[in-house]
Amino acid sequence: MQKVVLARELSANPRVLLVDQPTRGLDIGASEYVRQQLIAERDRGTAVMVISEDLDELLALSTRLVVMHDGEVMATLDRADMNLERIGALMTGVRDVSRGES
């Protein structure tokens, strides 16, 4: 069903695409298909915003990542600044990993 919805939305040539948990519940092949379509759309110039709890998915799709904790934006990271330790700390409310500051 997600592939059908995605195909329908992409057929409208959107300028902005907001997807929430785009691969949740999909098998590996379908997940890869959806990710490839989102990357292709991003590369065509569409602004693609992905909301997901799957860090691997976010790292694979994102050129910029906004990390939130308890409704507050903790940081906006460019691709070069993304690493699992920092993202994990930000997700738990810790801003400075080296000092453990909230």
Tens digits of per-residue pLDDT, 7-55?
898 889 999 999 999 999 889 998 999 999 999 999 999 999 999 988 8
Does the pLDDT at position 1 exceed 80?
no
Tell me the percentage of the chain whose pLDDT exceeds 70: 94
- Taking each helix axis from N to C terminus, what angle separates 28-43 and 2-10, rounded to the nearest 10 degrees? 10
Residue range 64-76, pLDDT digits in tens: 999 999 999 999 9
Q: What is the model's pTM?
A: 0.78
Return all residues near 57 (Cβ < 8 A) that are at least 6 apart: 22, 23, 35, 50
Q: What is the CATH number of domain 1-61?
A: 3.40.50.300
Domain positions in the chain: 1-61, 63-93
